[in-house]
Structure 1
């Protein structure tokens, strides 16, 4: 069973992919130009050195050197992006423990709910892990060793729930949040968002201090991050609404997810700054609610989530039938 969304989801995906593609192409172009510039500087000194020893290279020697510099730099850039994504995935899971190793009273309920909901949509039961943070978190990710782009369809994603979320919600609300995450898996959202997050994750490593540009790499990183968030936002907002609809269908209780969203929004205000520093900014794009505050929810083209009001209105509409 594949949970489909509105007709506009395909358009959103294409537009988001186009924006992200342009961002990556621009990034590769910047890296290649900088590498060629370095190669030209090298050739200037190399020509003097070869002239000193009376060696005359072929006419195409230095252009080939420049091309090799560009190719080498591009290859290193791709390798760096892959390493960053794997590191980011590891960060999503490093503070988590298997559900079977926790002593929380809700363990058996979470386990049975995940199995039941996964069976409803015809997918393998995802692994559930627990993050001990008090920040309300619920997101789905791949393991670090999973292929970056062509993840095997048999690869089971991991759903992460925080103790803060579990302790805040009732059982029906917790089941609705699990259904939301399983809806993402059934719709293949994780595979697509993994690709769309590539330019954003790469940019985050270039911008160590938000708002500051101490060198050309940070300048490029801020520019990349700004544009990449637009692409992620276009895709993510539509998929969040689709996952909400999926959760309402699976549980048969739109009000349960609505209650969960309202409760989590209230419990996350004010945001626990200490906890947020322990989470990568990219977690914001995949959490059931934005972790970085209202500015990231339905307030502009770079918003990763629809506004809470939009989500609640959709759920009310589903409840009315």
Structure 2
């Protein structure tokens, strides 16, 4: 599905929103069924026990018990989703170091580039942190204590780049990558992607263990997870193309971003030095290139990124204009 025009991006967002609502509703339904079924089993045992003592409770008591079970289950479910989001954000940042405290060559050049680009695009300058991995990574994320889905623009995001991304790129190519991340910030993609990811996290909460399923509820969780992944992919692919386009216009050099993408793709293939499944599954992060691993970064409908050739084709057309 190559919906790359502004209207196409709206279509992508609509499809993703519809998918997310359906998955979240399905996940909540499964949780309620589990809770109410457990409550009914408990009430049956309790009724038998009270029967031995010749105590009879009003019939209205048991529906109240079932309702309380459902309410408690929903509260615990929401808390588990919130915890998963915050844990994912913490995982993204736990190995990183502020740019000024790293051994990166000429960090002031990166700082000045981010400051200049942030002024051009009219967003607050975000802090920059460096991940020591040799695998190319660049993403924008929130701090663990930021609101899950913020309602204002007060929270300042964090841009993370890896040493493996900085080393192979020229100054102009690195500026193009930073412009791509700032475009995500300007487009409010962190908040939007979090909204789309929450139903996926909800579905995955129903299936804590990978592999074979032990009951019908885990089967439902797996099905809902697959549907949610498709929704995330449809949305994220459009946002990546939009960020590429904005970065090219921001820097005035589409060729620099195209060259950076090609170099990073080659470097990622040549240096699979880290198990990046955690990065791939982490919440509220949009990487410059898909990370290695299963799940959201797989090919096809569930891919979070368009094919590299599609992105290069768009950049070439912008350069030709």
Matched, 1:147 2:133: no
Structure 1 residues 198-207 or 245-254, which shifts more?
Answer: 198-207
Once the 2 structures are TM-superposed, how far is the Cα of residue 284 of structure 1 from its aligned partner? 10
Structure 1, residues 17-67: CA drift from partner, whole Å, max 9, x if none? 110111111001001001111001101111012222222111211111111
Out of 34-43 and 194-203, give the one that drifted further: 194-203
In structure 2, stretches of 5+ residues that fail to align are none
Closer/same/farther in 2, CA of residues 165 and 303 from structure 1, 3 Å limit: same
Q: For 2:175 and 2:10, how far apart are their aligned partners in 1?
A: 28
Cross-structure match for 2:251:
251
Residue 281 of structure 1 corresponds to 281
**C-alpha separation in 2, matches of 1:5 and 1:191:** 21
Partner residue in 2 for 1:184: 184
Instruction: Provide the rounded CA distance (Å) in 1 between the counterparts of 2:51 and 2:298.
Output: 63
1:129-144 superposed matches below 5 A: 129-144=129-144
Matches within 5 A, 1:1-321: 6-204=6-204, 207=207, 210-214=210-214, 218-270=218-270, 272=272, 274-276=274-276, 279-282=279-282, 286-292=286-292, 299-321=299-321
CA distance in 2, matches of 1:183, 1:142: 15
- Number of positions where the alignment pairs a residue of Structure 1 with one of Structure 2: 318
SS in 1 for 2:148: coil
CA contact (8 A) 2:255 2:315 kept: yes
Q: Is the 8 A contact 1:298 1:305 kept in 2?
A: no
Check the 8 A contact 1:213/1:219 in 2, yes or no: yes
How far is 1:227 from its partner? 1.0
The unaligned stretches of length 5 or more in structure 1 are none
TM superposition score normalised by structure 1: 0.92
Q: Contact conserved, 1:19 with 1:231, CA < 8 A, in 2? A: yes
Between 265-274 and 215-224, the greater mean CA deviation after superposition: 215-224
Distance 1:184 1:77, change over 3 A: same
**1:106–1:207: structure 2 CA closer, same or farther, 3 Å change rule?**
farther
Moved more, 138-147 or 210-219: 210-219
Q: Secondary structure at the match of 1:159?
A: strand
